Amino acid sequence: MQIHYYEVPGCDFVIHEGKPVIIAPSGTAEASLREQGFQQDKNGKWYKFLNEKEYHDVMIGYPDNDVTFTDKDYPPQYAPCPEEKSKDKFSNSPIVLSIVFLILIIGAIALPANFEWMGIWSSGLWIAGLLLIVFFRVKYPANPLGTALMIIYLVLVLMIVSILILVMVQLGTLFLNFLTCNWSAC
C-alpha cells in the first residue's frame, strides 16, 4: 500500500508507538517535505504523524488500495514528533526499574519467613514487586526486559503456590492419618 500525501508520493504507512505515521521515500525534495509538515528523525528518515481524519481515510483503503490526499481541509497533527520530546534525566528508567524489581524479589526470597514480622516484610516485598512490574509493563510495554521479568515473577509465584498446595495436601494427609490412627497402635 502506498500513500500519496499531497506533493509527496509513495509514502509508507506504519504504526509507531500506537500512532499512525507515514514515512516519505528517500530522494524526496526536502523543501516539499517541510512544506507538508514532515519531520526528520535521527536516522535521516522523514515522517509525519497522521491526524484522526487522515488515519480514517488511510484505513478505508488499507491494505489493498493506494490512498491519495489532495485537499488541505485536515486538522493539524495530533501527535508530536518523538524526537521533540525533551530528553528527561530518567532515560535509563527501564534498567533502573528492573534492578529495583530484582532487589525486591531477591529480598522477598532471601528473607526468612519464620518470624511473624519477617513474613510480613517478605509479603510486602512480593506485593511491591508485583506493583513495580505492572507499572513497568504499562510504562514500557514494548521493552523485552519487562516481559522477561514479568515471566520470571509469574514462574516464581506459580512455584510458590504449587509448593504451598503440596504442603497443604501433605499436612491434610498427615492429619487424616492421625485421626484414623488406632491409639494403641500408634
How are strands ordered across the β-sheet holding 19-23?
Answer: 39-40, 46-49, 19-23, 8-16, 3-5, 67-69
Strands 67-69 and 46-49: unpaired
Q: What is the pLDDT of residue 10?
A: 83
Q: Please confirm whether the linkage preceding 63 is cis (ω < 30° from 0).
A: yes
In contact, 104 and 110? CB cutoff 8 Å = no
Q: Over 70: is that where the pLDDT of 169 sits? A: yes
Quote the CA–CA distance of 1 and 23 in Å, as a whole number: 12
Can you tell me the mean pLDDT for 12-41? Answer: 85
Q: What is the pLDDT of residue 183?
A: 57
Q: What is the percent of the chain with per-residue pLDDT over 70, rounded to a whole number?
A: 78
Quote the CA–CA distance of 59 and 68 in Å, as a whole number: 12
Give pLDDT tens digits for 131-162.
888 888 888 888 888 888 888 888 988 998 89
The chain-wide mean pLDDT, for the chain, equals 77
Rounded to whole angstroms, what are the CA distances from 114 to 119, 122, 170, 174?
7, 11, 20, 22
Among the ranges 55-69, 138-152, 157-171, which has the highest mean pLDDT value?
157-171
Q: Over 50: is that where the pLDDT of 61 sits? A: yes
Question: 3-class DSSP state for residue 56?
Answer: helix
Q: What is the pLDDT of residue 76?
A: 44
H helices within the chain, ranges in order?
30-35, 52-61, 93-110, 116-139, 144-180
Give pLDDT tens digits for 101-123.
888 887 777 766 555 666 677 77
Can you tell me the mean pLDDT for 12-27? Answer: 85
β-sheet bridge partners, residue 47:
23, 39
Strands 67-69 and 3-5: parallel
Q: Within 13 Å, how many C-alpha atoms sit on residue 12's CB side? A: 8
Please, is 72 exposed, middle or buried when counting C-beta atoms within 10 Å of its C-beta (0-12, 13-18, 19+)?
A: exposed
Q: What is the percent of the chain with per-residue pLDDT over 90, rounded to a whole number?
A: 7
